[in-house]
Structure 1
Amino acid sequence: MKIEQIYTGCLAQGAYYIESEGEAVIIDPLRETAPYIEKAAQHGARIKYVLETHFHADFVSGHLDLAKKTGATIVYGP
């Protein structure tokens, strides 16, 4: 299992890339989705889920775009 935090300092925002057995989940992605797609491709993984832990009022999430580009299922938190 691979777990990596993708931190964006200017927004103080942390997204997470979790991968196991060729499948990946992205947690709280930023609007720019290319880094997540590229990371999965580098590891030969498929992004299966995109998780939103809460509503993000301080930045625009990339969950819709990422799901559209990868066929991933969006899962919302509480």
Structure 2
Amino acid sequence: MKIEQIYTGCLAQGAYFIVSNGEAAVIDPLREVNPYIRKAEQTGAKIRYVFETHFHA
């Protein structure tokens, strides 16, 4: 399992990208989706889950 934090310094917002066994989850996604798509492609994973624990501004 790999867990990576994706952080935007200008907005002080963080999200997490978790990969395990070819499946990925995104926790508290940021507005821009391309980083998640790129990470999934690079790891050969499919994004299966998106969890929101709170909304970003």
TM range (shorter): over 0.9
| Number of positions where the alignment pairs a residue of Structure 1 with one of Structure 2 | 57
The structure carrying a bigger strand percent of its residues is 2
Q: Which residue of 2 aligns with 1:22?
A: 22
RMSD: 0.8
Task: Give the structure-1-normalised TM-score.
Answer: 0.70
Equivalence map 1:28-47=2 (5 Å)? 28-47=28-47
Equivalence map 1:1-78=2 (5 Å)? 1-56=1-56, 58=57
Bigger relative contact order, structure 1 or 2 (CA pairs below 8 A, ≥6 apart): 2
Q: How far apart are residue 25 of structure 1 and its match?
A: 0.2
Cα distance in 1, alignment partners of residues 15 and 55 from structure 2: 14
Cα distance in 1, alignment partners of residues 55 and 25 from structure 2: 18
Confirm or deny: 8 A CA contact 2:28 2:55 kept in the other structure: no
Structure 1 consecutive aligned stretches of length 4 or more whose deviation exceeds 6 Å: none
